Amino acid sequence: MMKKQNKIYLVIGIVVVVLIAAIVIFSNQQSEEEVIKIGAILPLSGSNAVYGQEIQNAIELAREEINSEGGINGKVLKIIYEDDQADPKMGTNSMQKLVNVEKVFVVLGSWASGSVVASAPIAEENQVIVLASAISPLITDAGDYIFRMQPSAIFYTSKSTELLRKEGFSTAAIIYINNEFGVGLKNAFISDFESRGGDIISVEAYEQGASDFRTQLTKIKDKNPEIVFIPGYQDTVDVIKQMKELGIECKILAGPPFESQSSIEKLGNMADGVLYAYHFVAGKNDTKSQQYEQAYLEKYGVPTGGFAPLMYDGTYIIANALKKCGEETSCIKKELYSTEYNGVTGKVTFDENGDPLIPIVIKTVKNGKFVPYNK
Amino acid sequence: MSSIAFQLLINGLIAGAIYALVASGFSLIYSTNKFIHFAHGAVIAFSAYVLYFLFSILGINFGFSVVLAIIFASLLGYLLDIAVYKQLRKKKTSSVILLIASVGLLILLESLILLLFGADVKTIGFIKGSKGMEFLGAIITPLQIFIIITSIILLAGLFLFMKKTKLGKAMRAVSDNKDVAEIVGISSEKIYSWSFIIGSAIAGIAAILIGLEQNLEPTMGTNLMIKGFAAAIIGGIGSVHGAVLGAFLLGIVENFGIWYLPSGYKDAIAFVLLFIFLLFRPQGILRIKRRAEK
């Protein structure tokens, strides 16, 4: 009796194993023939998920369009997403996984500077192309295979310090997030503002994830600056809130992540008048941008943010390179350096360090809307 | 200059009061159960999300939402004790295993929050941000005053509760010596459960005040626990009112510390203080007498 039962189990076991093997082999064959897969690292959870989600939306929009127009020479473009929560540690883990387990040869992202700086060496060593969307000046020298869609910090700060000095602001304080992103913008701002004859009178830091900035702000208040520069992530909102609570009434210059619908939702009319340098203005007068903005709104029900168009263009740029080169990374790299792509963000080219050349504008908040700043 | 010092003192009190809200409930549970209940932070986070759900999404009256959130916190704490810790205690597992289980619960609850509410930051939005009130040259908002007062009431209330009430006395008895307490007829299992219920109710109060003062994030529990735990150690682990004092000390030292030091050292200052206590005063602020008695 027992033996018979054992035999039945054995037979069932063998059938299951064979089935699984068949499925694995079958699906692998299919993927090798028809799918071309690349990776993407984005902050999809945690306090900076708003940016990651927005970028993922844009990448998916581009991917669907590319696939519906025939894919990459007939192959379907597939993207494997990894979540780094804007954390360098998780960024390197994600990169390891994409490079060593998923064996991708192109990685989009991350959005967080620290994550890109920490994970770039892994990509460089394995000759994997990275197209990031991050701001830190360190990414300029991160490697030959490392490109990015977002301009370096210096382009933002030179534009904003120029305006500030022109409008007669001469003393500034800085409260920055203590990571690659914040440090990059802080250093660029200090050297720019001082070279234009301005005075930096107070520099304070806070850790990523902090929620109490009162003592830093108390010290800044004591110095009485004319402008406070806040290169931060979503926490910029809380810094501004606590500034108002403490009665600091000076002009505010925020970092690029300030442009996010949630900033306005959380700050209300406290957001009015906040300045920031940015790489994107919605509602441009060319068909490509209008089509993109329309498509994004239709698909997701919300208007596009400013980080999404960068990677929307980025996905197309990568797709074009893949069409020419297949999976050969040295060819893709060469193709990227000679890119001249007319996209939503304008004409995109990369310099010899893989940095893009995209114009920067000063923007502000007026009646709950992000608009270009003019006096 | 003095107005800065006073503002820093106020900032320290605000920070300390928030740590105290976390540390007191945690310490109460430790005092009887004698293991480190890290999931306490997740109970706070979960209750804050429940308040957000009831008030901001369902639109239920704020006062009623607050009461429900506190009840929820209590029940959640009780449930964790019954469903996990009690089962482990039955098997006579060591407190190290319980500690690991509590870390597991912390991660589980945080993931549940992530699943139910999503990753983005939420705000309860009951109180609109505005300029605070001037008070002897320093600025403080009404909510912050309320937080400080609540934690001081907690300090006094818990002190009286432990000294005067029958349940409090029984808790102290179990905390001192479980076996002797059982001989005189105190059910230690019952006391364990009661300390979870009361400690988690305090977590519910903490959730409401912290949820109003800060934003809600799924991982907020871990962040709160780090400082709350440090405060409880400084105050003398297991001493409930010691934990509240430890929290205020931590908040004040931290905020005065970065007056002259760069502000990036804020957390470092907190942990240097923790190390100083661990090295030179491991019994915490308040544990002088008991040591002498022994």
- Cβ pairs bridging A and B (under 8 Å): 88
First vs last Cα of chain A: how many Å apart? 92
- Domain ranges in chain A are 33-151+301-359, 154-278
Rounded to the nearest 10 degrees, what angle do helices B2-33 and B40-51 cross at? 110
Confidence check: pLDDT of B294 > 70: no
**Cβ–Cβ gap B114/A45 under 8 Å:** yes
Percentage of chain A modeled with pLDDT above 90? 73
Cα A341 versus chain centre, distance: 19
Q: Please give the residue range of the domain that contains residue B218.
A: 2-293
pLDDT of residue A107: 96
**Chain B neighbors of A267, CB-CB under 8 A:** 129
Of B119, B121, B129, nearest to A270 by CB-CB distance is B129
In Å, how far is A339's CA from the nearest CA of chain B? Answer: 35
Closest CA to B216 of B120, B280, B126, B146: B120
- For B27, the 3-state DSSP assignment is helix
> What residues are paired with A175 via a beta bridge?
A204
**Chain A neighbors of B255, CB-CB under 8 A:** 214-215
When computed from its CA atoms, the radius of gyration of chain A, rounded to whole angstroms, is: 24
Count CB-CB contacts under 10 A for residue B288.
12
pLDDT of residue B292: 43
CATH for A33-151+301-359? 3.40.50.2300
Percentage of chain B modeled with pLDDT above 90? 61
pLDDT of residue B287: 66
Quick check: B54 and B60 in contact, CB under 8 A?
yes
CATH among 1.10.10.10, 3.40.50.2300, 1.25.40.420, 3.40.605.10 for A154-278: 3.40.50.2300
Confidence check: pLDDT of B81 > 60: yes
pLDDT of residue B3: 76
Pairing assessment for the beta strands B133-135 and B138-140 based on DSSP bridges: antiparallel
> What residues are paired with A371 via a beta bridge?
A364
Q: What is the spatial distance between Cα A106 and Cα A129, in angstroms, rounded to a whole number?
A: 5
Q: Which amino acid is at A107?
A: V
When divided into structural domains, chain B yields a total of 1
The conformation of residue A269, written as its DSSP 8-state character, comes to G
Percentage of chain A modeled with pLDDT above 70? 96
**Chain B neighbors of A214, CB-CB under 8 A:** 7, 11, 14-15, 255
Q: What is the spatial distance between Cα A307 and Cα A314, in angstroms, rounded to a whole number?
A: 11
Closest CA to B215 of A240, A304, A249: A240
CA angle A274, A43, A289 (to 5 degrees): 60
In Å, how far is A225's CA from the nearest CA of chain B? Answer: 16
Total-model pTM: 0.84
ipTM: 0.82
Of A44, A47, A246, nearest to B132 by CB-CB distance is A246
Q: Does A246 touch chain B (CB under 8 A)?
A: yes
When computed from its CA atoms, the radius of gyration of chain B, rounded to whole angstroms, is: 19
Q: What is the spatial distance between Cα A276 and Cα A264, in angstroms, rounded to a whole number?
A: 14
Confidence check: pLDDT of B78 > 60: yes
pLDDT of residue B133: 83
Q: Which residue of A has its CA nearest to B114?
A: A45
- Locate A350 and state its tokens: 């990369």
Quick check: A345 and A313 in contact, CB under 8 A?
yes
Confidence class for position B190, pLDDT limits 50, 70, 90: very high
